[in-house]
Amino acid sequence: MRGILATLTALITASPALAASGPFFSLTNTNFVVLIAFLLFVGVLLYLKVPTLLGGKLDERAEGIKSELEEARALREEAQTLLASYERKQKEVQEQADRIVAHANDEAVLAAEQAKADLKVSIARRLQAAEDQIASAEARAIKDVRDQAVSIAIGAAKDVISKQMTATEGNSLIESAIADVDAKLH
């Protein structure tokens, strides 16, 4: 209320109000009419408690902004926590992938070495089988040659014996062979 009186006093004593023509407190003086309208307007605003409503609305708005800022701060902290969590998970996954790749490389090296060893064993086995086949073929060839030689020798001996032996000598050889067999069987 004192602020209104101070404002009113300042308006009354102001130099433009004194510069108007005629008495100041007359309804024909436009300055006085404007002053009264202004004071009525301010009075209506005060009566309707507009400054309190405006202050309340501004306070509500300030509280809303403050709560939004706190919520935004909380969301930012949560986002930073999630980001850190995902970065840790990414590092763990990368380390696991590196371990898997290293393990796969080690297994590939071992598999290659095993394949080389298996190949050497297979080659040795095949060489041994080939050598066995060669030895068997050699033995068969030698046997065939011996059999042929024996057949030729028997044929030659038969021819020689048949030309040189007489019938009586043949009969005496047969009888001595029968006697040998009879002696060996009993």
pLDDT score of 160: 75
CA atoms within 13 A on the CB side of 75: 6
Residues 6+ apart with CB under 8 A from 29: 20, 21, 22, 23
Q: Tell me, what's the pLDDT at 5?
A: 56
What percentage of the chain carries pLDDT values higher than 70?
A: 88
DSSP letter, residue 147: H
What number is the average pLDDT over the span 178-186? 81
Instruction: Name the range with the highest mean pLDDT among 62-66, 160-164, 168-172.
Output: 62-66
Per-residue model confidence (pLDDT) at position 17: 45
Amino acid at 50: V
Looking at residue 111, what is its pLDDT?
94
Residue that wins the pLDDT comparison between 114 and 163? 114
Name the residue with higher pLDDT: 41 or 3. Answer: 41
Closest CA to 36 of 50, 17, 15, 18: 17
Min mean pLDDT across 81-85, 102-106, 126-130, 173-177 is at: 173-177
What tokens does 32 get?
Answer: 């006085």
Q: Tell me, what's the pLDDT at 3?
A: 56
* Residues across the chain: 186
pLDDT greater than 90 at residue 170: no
C-alpha dist (Å) from residue 76 to 55, 64, 71, 89, 109: 31, 18, 8, 20, 49
Cβ atoms of 4 and 42 within 8 Å: the answer is yes
Are the CB atoms for 67 and 59 separated by under 8 Å? no
CB-based contacts of 12, cutoff 8 Å, min separation 6: 24, 35
pLDDT tens sequence across 48-98: 999 999 999 999 999 999 999 999 999 999 999 999 999 999 999 999 999
